């Protein structure tokens, strides 16, 4: 815990709202990223080793890029250990975000990681075994008696979050769970958590991290929620589409599904339809030279167009900070995501320009941290001797192919040439 904060503004009382939720405009035009500090390997570590000055620094990077939101994972496991401290960290985070014009989307529970939230996995820092963790544990979502009815249960956490922050106007929305799917008994657990938050805070803006909008129908169901209102915004994920055309086609399909589920499909009323956010995207698969290196520029223009046209109402790229893949399978294949180095340099100036829609005055460093050479994963450009796998990437929904040796070097040369041309033409700000 970092007690020395560079953030000078005084925090307002926890959970206080500056204006009623109903007076706020619909959450549209959100431009964000998934955020996890570069030093941390999972959400538990972010909150257990929360450092005010590092978070403030990273939020400054997001503001420099013109982002107005971040998608952040809470940690039920850390709250269970240190509830008051967890909420103190959240208070600082929301206050620091507000000062920079950022309203975060906070995720309460996490489904995709295969690693259980054991003591060993929560604290792991060796890249070979430090990955995101399933939260709560699978055993806790097997039966209702495991997820509610006792102090510090997952439902208790959802209810306490609602009491403290769900209606806080510094928050964009509360996401109940990331990629819950529809399988039982997880679906019953997620509905219970959604019901608990809605009962506690009727005006809260709630959403679900559905990988595909079609899963939203299982949660935006007032009958299943005892007559309570369901979801206020829909989500879908589009991490690795084949190309921009495929991305646009998929997003348009998701918009049609969202309007159908939300009951506005036949009305043509774009003002009353529920917001649709793409809360995870990375890059296209076809853009050379390496499918495993960051390449936000391959997809960002399409996302910007979709948002401006109103097909989607917000998007979040993965991730703000440059980092090895969050899940085990993609990391073992050498996938790297993100944009910012810890010191504020960007991995790719082209990516930064594409995301920002302008030329931000940011230093560039088209390389990975030297410490990653000890990770023993085939990151692009760091380990050309390791054969790239071709099986399905667990986050992509697409087929991965082999990348040429030292692929990162080729893109680095391309960026270097592009920046040299801009300087010659007098359009480079640096």
Query: Could you tell me if residue 222 is inside a domain?
Result: yes
Block residue for tokens 């760091």:
382
Tens digit of each residue's pLDDT (9 = 90 or more) over 303-355: 999 999 999 999 999 999 999 999 999 999 999 999 999 999 999 999 999 99
For a pLDDT cut of 70, what percent of the chain falls above it? 81
Query: Could you tell me if residue 75 is inside a domain?
Result: yes
pLDDT for residue 13: 55
Tens digit of each residue's pLDDT (9 = 90 or more) over 62-75: 999 999 999 999 99
Cite the beta strand spans of 305-387 per DSSP E. Answer: 314-318, 323-324, 336-337
pLDDT for residue 397: 34
The total number of structural domains in the chain stands at: 1
Query: Could you tell me if residue 343 is inside a domain?
Result: yes
- Average model confidence (pLDDT) across the chain: 86
Q: Which of 5-9, 53-57, 154-158, 266-270 has the lowest mean pLDDT?
A: 5-9
Specify the higher pLDDT residue, 31 or 17: 31
Query: Could you tell me if residue 287 is inside a domain?
Result: yes
Split at pLDDT 50, 70, 90, the class of 374 is: confident
pLDDT for residue 407: 43
Query: Could you tell me if residue 20 is inside a domain?
Result: no
Spatial neighbors of 96 by CB under 8 A, at least 6 apart, are 7, 52, 55, 56, 59
The candidate with the shortest Cα–Cα distance to 354, out of 418, 279, 291, 413, is 418
Query: Could you tell me if residue 18 is inside a domain?
Result: no
DSSP letters along 275-297, please? PEEEEEE---SSSSS-SSS--GG
CATH number assigned to the domain comprising residue 45: 3.20.20.80
What letter does residue 219 receive in the DSSP assignment?
T
Specify the higher pLDDT residue, 93 or 269: 93
Tens digit of each residue's pLDDT (9 = 90 or more) over 187-221: 999 999 999 999 999 999 999 999 999 999 999 99
pLDDT for residue 27: 73
Is the per-residue pLDDT at 367 higher than 70? yes
Split at pLDDT 50, 70, 90, the class of 25 is: low
- Domain range for 305 is 26-425
Tens digit of each residue's pLDDT (9 = 90 or more) over 336-349: 999 999 999 999 99
Helix (H) or strand (E) holding 54: helix 52-64
Alpha carbon distance 19, 169 (integer Å): 7
Query: Could you tell me if residue 10 is inside a domain?
Result: no
Query: Could you tell me if residue 30 is inside a domain?
Result: yes
Structure tokens at 89: 């960290």
pLDDT, average across residues 397-409? 39
How large is the angle between the packed helices 186-200 and 154-161, nearest 10 degrees? 30
């Amino acid at each position: 815990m970092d007690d020395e904060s560079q953030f000078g503004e005084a925090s307002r009382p926890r959970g206080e709202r500056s204006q009623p939720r109903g007076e706020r405009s619909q959450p549209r035009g959100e431009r964000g990223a998934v955020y996890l500090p570069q030093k941390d390997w999972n959400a538990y570590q972010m909150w257990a080793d929360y450092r005010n000055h590092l978070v403030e620094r990273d939020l400054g990077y997001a503001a420099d890029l013109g982002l107005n939101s971040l998608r952040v994972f809470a940690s039920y496991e850390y709250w269970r250990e240190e509830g008051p401290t967890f909420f103190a960290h959240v208070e600082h985070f929301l206050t620091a975000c507000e000062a920079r014009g950022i309203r975060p989307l906070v995720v309460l529970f996490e489904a995709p990681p295969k690693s259980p939230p054991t003591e060993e996995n929560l604290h792991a820092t060796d890249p070979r075994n430090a990955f995101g963790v399933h939260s709560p544990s699978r055993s806790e979502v097997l039966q209702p008696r495991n997820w509610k009815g006792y102090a510090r249960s997952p439902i208790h956490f959802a209810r306490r979050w609602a009491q403290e922050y769900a209606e806080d106007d510094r928050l964009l929305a509360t996401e109940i769970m990331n990629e819950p799917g529809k399988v039982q008994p997880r679906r019953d657990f997620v509905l219970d958590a959604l019901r608990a938050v809605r009962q506690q805070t009727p005006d809260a803006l709630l959403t679900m991290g559905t990988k595909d909008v079609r899963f939203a129908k299982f949660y935006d169901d007032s009958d299943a929620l005892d007559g309570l209102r369901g979801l206020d915004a829909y989500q879908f994920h589009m991490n690795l589409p084949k190309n921009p055309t495929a991305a646009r086609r998929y997003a348009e399909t998701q918009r049609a599904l969202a309007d159908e589920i939300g009951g506005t499909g036949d009305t043509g009323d774009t003002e009353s339809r529920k917001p649709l956010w793409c809360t995870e995207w990375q890059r296209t698969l076809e853009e050379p030279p390496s499918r495993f290196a960051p390449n936000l520029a391959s997809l960002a223009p399409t996302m910007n167009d979709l948002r401006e046209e109103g097909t989607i109402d917000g998007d979040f790229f993965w991730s703000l900070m440059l980092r090895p893949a969050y899940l085990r399978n993609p990391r073992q294949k050498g996938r790297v995501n993100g944009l910012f180095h810890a010191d504020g340099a960007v991995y790719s100036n082209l990516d930064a320009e594409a995301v920002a829609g302008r030329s931000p005055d940011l230093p560039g460093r088209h390389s990975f941290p030297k410490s990653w050479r000890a990770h023993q994963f085939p990151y692009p450009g760091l380990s050309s001797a390791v054969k790239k796998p071709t099986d399905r990437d667990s986050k992509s929904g697409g087929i991965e192919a082999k990348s040429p040796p030292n692929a990162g070097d080729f893109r680095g040369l391309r960026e270097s040439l592009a920046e040299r041309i801009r300087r010659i033409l007098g359009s480079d700000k640096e």
